[in-house]
Amino acid sequence: MLKNQDRIIEICKTSGRTNYINQIGEAELYDKEGFLKKGIKLKFIETESFEYD
């Protein structure tokens, strides 16, 4: 059974994805170079904080 980064890479590969976007808070869990070696671009997004009125 694949775990962590390897599992995400395998899901991307089997579904034909070449990009994976994740939350910035999980950036320390993944190795960008490891994704690139498998042909997948790893990107992180960071959302702005907001409050409802």
Alpha carbon 34 to its chain's center: 11
Q: Is the pLDDT of residue 4 over 70?
A: yes
What contacts 20, CB < 8 A, 6 or more positions away?
A: 8, 12, 35, 40, 41, 42, 43
Average pLDDT over residues 3-32: 92
Domain ranges of the chain: 4-45
Rounded-to-integer distance, Cα 32 and Cα 2, Å:
18
Q: Band the pLDDT of 2: cuts 50, 70, 90.
A: low
Please name which of 42, 47, 48 lies closest in space to residue 21, comparing C-alpha atoms: 42
Tens digit of each residue's pLDDT (9 = 90 or more) over 19-53: 999 988 888 889 999 999 999 999 999 888 888 98
Tokens 């409802």 identify what position? Answer: 52
